[in-house]
Structure 1
Amino acid sequence: MKTKIISAANQKGGVGKTTTLVNLGAELARKRKVLVIDLDPQGNCSKTLTGQCDFKFEETVAALFDKPKVVSIVDLIQPAKLNGNSIENLYVVPADVQLSRVIETSLTKINRERILEKQLAKLGDSYDFILLDTPPNLSLTTLNAIQASDLILIPVDSGAFSLDGISPLLEAVSEIKDDEGNYLILRNEVDSRNTIIN
């Protein structure tokens, strides 16, 4: 099976990107080998999938952007854990706050939008699915995720401002993917008591 790369993106925060991605990863890992890469400096995905709340990682995804010719993604992968126990078939590349600093210095690098794509090529088809959690903005990490993805999942909630981030995101997808971007808008937080969904 060829690896499928899926990113969760939306410029609006709090719409369920991380929650959706973590749950999707856990479900897919029941039968497939899954790698989740946290590209958000907040690191909520990392906290959830490693059980660490104080960021005690030796290296994080920041190293890929800081030293792309020195560091390999293979060296950053660790088993996902729940209550201290490894979760079968689920792996994570963590992120932490230093990613913000590194991204600023990476803006001048040549082919900066392809840093992640080049690193993922090193994995071949080692994983059935690679899931990319992005920050709530169009930062360099989000642009890298879009470039590397086969599918962009755009979670939205029922809030009045949830749709605000979609238009600029879709413009970026169209530009990066030459109008061939594959995306899916996922309506989150749906009240099942309603018979009509707006």
Structure 2
Amino acid sequence: MDNTPFDKMMQGMAELQESQAKADLESQKLRELAARTSRKLNLVDNIFESIGIKTGCFAEELVSGSFKRNPVLGGTRYDTVECNVPDSNGKTEYDILLFNDSSVAIIEIKYKAHLKDIEDLLEKKAVAFRLSHPECAGHKLYLGLATMISYDELVQKAGEAGIYLPGHEGKYVELLSDKVRAF
């Protein structure tokens, strides 16, 4: 091959094309790796979501079973226990409703309750219940936040808010906070 400027330019073009082909191949490999990684991350995300759902279901089964066997909250016996009750507005679901002639208790169940759950119970669930159940207007309304995992600040805030905090102790649900008031 001659070393004319044209030959050098053609050689440079060939090297550039070879380099571009290698870069394209590497880029394709990276896109395939990104796609496989994305699929695996979606799978992991689905697994964690499934675990979260299952732990939530476990908590609901344990707590609701406990109240079905012994419908007592804070020394008050209830005649009826209803689980997973949708509200008439379709926007709210009550994990557990306990009824007797003079009282109603709403129990929200969380595997691990957070401080925001106290606010939601007070500001959303209690308000929605009162609005959608006028037949219970004369009943005392008690609130509870059942949790499998608790911590000191949660116990303190539940007591300050005046709601029951049933927690898991052995194979039974026991009160972690009983500083309550009717709402």
TM-score, with normalisation over the residues of structure 2?
0.29
Q: Which has the higher contact order (CA 8 A, sep 6+)?
A: 1
Give 1 or 2: higher helix fraction.
2
Query: TM-score scaled by structure 1?
Result: 0.28
Higher Rg of the two aligned structures = 2
Structure in which a larger fraction of residues adopt strand: 2
